[in-house]
């Protein structure tokens, strides 16, 4: 699964040609989560609140780019959260 970015020990990935709704996969140590890109909420997983908050902030900042990647299936790297 291609990596989009990583920051503060958080890795964000997106699968090619996966089921809807548009989403990203998050790894933070042994914890994992799935975030719906459109609404910015965790639909599955067990991310700690602080990591989830950082991922939501990042997802909000790059929402349009993430949705474009989902649509055209051309996964590319995006900047980390600063």
% the chain with pLDDT above 90: 91
Q: What is the mean pLDDT of residues 1-9?
A: 95
Exposure pattern of 22-49 as b/e (b: 16+ CB <10 Å)? bbbbbbbeeeebebbbeeeebeeeebee
Q: What is the pLDDT of residues 66-77, one digit of tens each?
A: 999 999 989 999
The 10s digit of each residue's pLDDT in 11-41 is: 999 997 788 999 999 999 999 999 999 999 9
Model pTM? 0.94
d(CA 66, CA 75): 9
**Where in the chain are the domains?**
3-72
The two structure tokens encoding residue 61:
């900042």
């Amino acid at each position: 699964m291609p990596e989009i970015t990583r920051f503060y020990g958080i890795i964000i990935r997106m699968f090619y040609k996966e089921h809807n709704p548009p989403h990203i996969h998050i790894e933070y140590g042994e914890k994992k989560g799935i975030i719906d890109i459109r609404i910015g909420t965790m639909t599955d997983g067990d991310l700690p609140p602080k990591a989830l908050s950082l991922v939501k902030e990042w997802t909000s900042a790059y929402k349009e780019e993430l949705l474009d990647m989902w649509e055209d299936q051309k996964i590319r790297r995006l900047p980390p959260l600063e």
